[in-house]
Amino acid sequence: MAMHLTLSRVLRLLVLAYQRNRKLPAMQTSHSLLLTLFAALTLSPLQAQKEPNLAHITHAIQPENIERTIRRLVGFGTRNTLSSQTDPQRGIGAARDWLYGEFMKLREGSGKRLIVEKQTFIQPVAPRVPQPTPLTNIVATLPGDLPADQQRFIILSGHYDSMCNSPTDAVRDAPGANDDASGTAAVLEAARALAPYHFKATIVFLCVAGEEQGLLGSTYFAEQAKQQKWRIEAMFTNDIIGGTRGGNGIEDRRTVRVFSEGIASNETEAEAKTRRSVGGEEDSPSRQIARYIREVTAKYVQEMRVTLIARRDRYLRGGDHIPFNERGYAAVRFTEPNEDYRHQHQNVRTENDIIYGDLPEFVDFPYVAKVARVNAVAAALMASAPAIPQGVGLLTRRLRDSL
C-alpha cells in the first residue's frame, strides 16, 4: 500500500510540473495525461528500452559492412567443407572461427541477450564426403521476451562453405563471394540490425556448413529442431543474393526472387487426397510466407521488389530451406533474379578474355544490403506478431447454405 501511495504522489508531482511548464489550469489536466504518465513510469525496462523501429533497422544495414564481411570470407582462400579446420588463415575452420567471433561482438549490442554457439556434429561418409568429417554450424539466437513466445522461431540462414568446380576439392581456391558469402553477410548484417531490439518470438541467425556437399549442415539443424519439437514459424535461406547482372546480360538491382513450395514436401497420401479434392495447391505455409514477404517489402523496403517463384527451388538446384520443408516447416529461398553461371562453382581462371570464378568484383554490395533489409523487416514483423493460430481447419464433410 505504501508503494502505491508513493507512486500516486509521484504522478501528481509530475502533473503539477507539467502544468507549470505548460501554464495550464488544473482543469485541463486530463485523465488521459495521468494514464500516460503512469504508463511511462510503469513500463518495464525491456519495453521502454528497445521497441523495434523498422526505419532504424533498415538504416542500420549498410553496404560497407556487407562488403567487409564478403571480402573477409573470400580472404580465407577456400571455405570448402573438406578444407583445413585448424589452419588459422585458410580454410573452413578459419572462416568458422571468424564468424563466431563476429556474432560474439554483436552480443554486446544486444545487452548480452544474443546466445552464440558452435553446433558441431560428425558427418558420416557420403557421396561428397569421402571420410567422416566434423561440420560446424554457427547459431546465434535472440530469445523472445515472453516465455510463451520464446518457443516460436524465425530463422534467417546462409551457408558459409564454398566450392570451385569440384565439391571435394579442398585445396584449390574457392572464393565463394556470391555463393554464399553474400547470404552469410546478409544474415550477419541482419543480426547486427536486429540484436539491439526486443521481440515476442525468438529469432535465430544461422550460418551453416556442408551445403555444397548436400545440404548437410541445414539437414542436421532441421532434424535437431524437429526432434526437439521446435515451433519454427518461418525459415529464410539466402543463397546467391549478390549478382545484379546475369549471364543473360540483364541488369536488375531492384528485384529478388523468393522461391516457395506449393505442395508440402512432407505431405501424406491422406493429405494429398484431400488436397486433390478441395484444392489448396497455392495455400501452403511456405507460399503464404512468401506472399507476406512481398507484402511487407512493398510497404517498408520500397527500393526492392519481390518476385514470387512458385517452385521449391531453381531447376536442378537446391538450397538449405529444403530440409526444413521436408520436415514440415514453412521455408523459402532468396536468390538474385538473373544468375551468371560463369561465377558459380567455377575454378578461378580466364579463358578467351572471360573471367571465371566466384569473385568479389561480381558482387553488388548495395544490392545485398537491400536483400538483407527485406530479411530483417520481414523477420522483425513476424517476430513481433502474435502466434500463428493452431489447429485451424475447414470442415468439408457436408455442403449446406450459410445462414
Q: What is the pLDDT of residues 69-123, one digit of tens each?
A: 999 999 999 999 999 999 999 999 999 999 999 999 999 989 999 999 999 999 9
CB 91 within 8 A of CB 76: yes
The mean per-residue pLDDT over the stretch 177-190 comes to: 98
| pLDDT, the chain, mean | 89
Q: Give the pLDDT score at 35.
A: 39
In this model, does residue 32 exceed pLDDT 70?
no
The mean per-residue pLDDT over the stretch 343-371 comes to: 97
In this model, does residue 15 exceed pLDDT 90?
no
The mean per-residue pLDDT over the stretch 359-385 comes to: 98
What's the pLDDT tens digit per position in 212-267?
999 999 999 999 999 999 999 999 999 999 999 999 999 999 999 999 999 889 98
Share of the chain above pLDDT 70, in %: 86
Q: Look at residue 399 and give its three-state secondary structure.
A: coil
Q: Give the pLDDT score at 147.
A: 85
In this model, does residue 27 exceed pLDDT 70?
no
Distance (Å, rounded) from C-alpha 176 to C-alpha 240? 9
Q: Give the pLDDT score at 283.
A: 87
Distance (Å, rounded) from C-alpha 199 to C-alpha 211? 30
Ordered by where they begin, the domains of the chain are 2-11+19-42 (no CATH), 51-384 (3.40.630.10)
* Lookup: cell for 362: 561480381
Least confident of 178-182, 273-277, 306-310: 273-277
In this model, does residue 311 exceed pLDDT 80?
yes
Distance (Å, rounded) from C-alpha 269 to C-alpha 261? 17
Reported confidence tier of residue 50, pLDDT bands at 50, 70, 90: low
Q: Is 0.75 topped by the overall pTM?
A: yes
CB 244 within 8 A of CB 364: yes
Q: Give the pLDDT score at 9.
A: 52
Residues in the chain: 403
The one-letter amino acid code at 319 reads: G
Query: Pairing relation of β-strands 331-335 and 231-238?
Result: parallel
**Phi, psi of 13, deg, nearest 5:** -65, -40
The one-letter amino acid code at 391 reads: G
The mean per-residue pLDDT over the stretch 132-155 comes to: 94
| CA distances for 241 relative to 22, 78, 171, 376, angstroms | 54, 19, 25, 15
H helix intervals, 27-129: 31-42, 45-49, 54-60, 63-74, 92-109
| CA distances for 260 relative to 269, 337, 383, angstroms | 21, 15, 20
Which residues have CB under 8 Å from 342's CB, separation 6+?
247, 354, 355, 356
In this model, does residue 303 exceed pLDDT 70?
yes
Q: Give the pLDDT score at 356.
A: 98
